[in-house]
């Protein structure tokens, strides 16, 4: 428990530092950080001006990660992300010039504005932590995370992410509009600092982040909670309003993010409430509604919300012993 307690203190310090920049969005930033601690990538899909880009930069600063931003546009090429071989006239050889994907945290800004071919260039990087250029494979730094942004309301000139790529994002998060008091707090902080730029203090470094991610493996998941993850994922496939539900990768994502969220909450075991807290961010982007319902009020959000009400929630004690999953 001591390692988990230490991890909890570090995680809380990171979130507290993020709160100095991102106002009133603690619940959303907890899920973003849980996704990172679980070793995954995060899709931030929300309206313009709600702090998605600022959140990515702030997490990079607080976590001590190298940060690069790639602005996704219709003319962006795969080599603009991965890098390419460039001829060195002085030495008479081709040398590999790394692209922005070689970093600790990559902000893929407006990822839905670039064609599928360039979107697909990220797939290998996100899944395998490597890129292949002209038959040669280059490993990416560790840790490596993608925080992507997307605008859900603009469709002209955009390319919706295919389900295979959406599935590579461990969680999808929306920040939403702030309350009136929080919005005034944003204005007040801007006047107080007398400049536009905001800077977060570094709380951990890349090595410490890897240690935190390794600590997640010590979080206990009881068989009941594990089966609850499976039950929720299977229910998305069997629901009458869905064309496609979450794959086994979805149930695994529930378990992994649930472990990280438990540490955020200061525990070394996962409860059903942890799974419920992260389930919308983990499952909604993995659910495809039947085409005939697209013009109705049915959405992946309403389906997941219904399943969280109807799928039986297990009653569990703290898991221990050889049957507890880690």
Domain residues of the chain, as ranges?
2-210, 219-312
For residue 92, pLDDT over 60 is answered with yes
pLDDT for 9 equals: 96
Q: How many CB atoms lie within 10 A of CB 65?
A: 23
User: Which of the four pLDDT bands, split at 50, 70 and 90, describes residue 320?
Assistant: very low
pLDDT over threshold 60, residue 303: yes
pLDDT score for 2: 60
* pLDDT tens profile 276-285: 999 999 999 9
User: Residue 326 above 70 pLDDT?
Assistant: no
As a CATH number, domain 219-312 is 1.10.8.80
Query: Cα–Cα distances in Å, from 88 out to 94, 96, 119, 166?
Result: 6, 10, 29, 38
> What is the residue-averaged pLDDT of the chain?
91
Average pLDDT of the residues in 32-37: 97
pTM above 0.75, yes or no: yes
> Is CATH 1.10.10.10 what the domain over 2-210 is classified as, yes or no?
no
238 touches 303 (CB < 8 A): no
Each residue's pLDDT tens digit, 172-221: 999 989 999 999 999 999 999 888 888 899 999 999 999 999 999 999 99
SS (H, E, C) 65-90: CCEEEEECCCCCCHHHHHEEEEEECC
Q: Are 112 and 162 a contacting pair, CB within 8 Å?
A: no
**β-strand 145-150 against 42-45: which pairing, if any?**
parallel
The pLDDT of 143-167, averaged and rounded, is 81
Which of 35-39, 265-269, 318-322 has the lowest average pLDDT? 318-322
Question: What does the pLDDT read at residue 296?
Answer: 86
């Amino acid at each position: 428990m001591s390692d988990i307690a230490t991890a909890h203190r570090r995680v809380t310090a990171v979130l507290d530092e993020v709160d100095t920049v991102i106002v009133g969005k603690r619940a959303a930033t907890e899920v973003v950080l849980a996704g990172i601690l679980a070793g995954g990538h995060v899709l931030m899909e929300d309206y313009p001006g709600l702090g998605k880009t600022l959140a990515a930069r702030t997490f990079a600063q607080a976590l001590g990660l190298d940060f690069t931003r790639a602005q996704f546009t219709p003319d962006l090429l795969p080599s603009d992300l991965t890098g390419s071989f460039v001829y060195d006239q002085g030495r008479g050889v081709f040398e590999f010039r790394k692209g922005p994907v070689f970093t600790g945290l990559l902000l893929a800004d407006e990822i839905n504005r670039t064609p599928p071919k360039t979107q697909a260039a990220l797939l290998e990087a996100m899944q395998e932590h490597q890129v292949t250029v002209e038959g040669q494979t280059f490993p990416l730094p560790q840790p490596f995370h993608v925080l992507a942004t997307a605008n859900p309301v603009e469709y002209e000139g955009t390319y919706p992410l295919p389900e295979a790529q959406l599935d590579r994002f461990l969680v999808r998060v929306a920040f939403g509009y702030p309350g009136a008091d929080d919005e005034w707090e944003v204005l007040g902080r801007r006047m107080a600092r007398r400049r536009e730029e905001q800077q977060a203090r570094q709380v951990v470094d890349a090595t410490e982040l890897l240690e935190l991610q390794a600590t997640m493996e010590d979080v206990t998941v009881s068989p009941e909670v594990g089966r609850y993850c499976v039950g929720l994922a299977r229910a998305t496939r069997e629901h009458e309003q869905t064309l496609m539900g979450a794959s086994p990768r979805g149930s695994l994502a529930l378990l992994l993010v649930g472990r990280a969220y438990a540490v955020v909450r200061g525990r070394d075991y996962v409860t059903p409430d942890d799974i419920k807290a992260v389930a919308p961010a983990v499952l909604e982007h993995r659910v495809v509604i039947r085409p005939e319902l697209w013009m109705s009020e049915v959405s992946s959000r309403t389906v997941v919300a219904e399943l969280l009400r109807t799928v039986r929630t297990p009653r569990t004690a703290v898991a221990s012993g050889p049957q507890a999953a880690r």
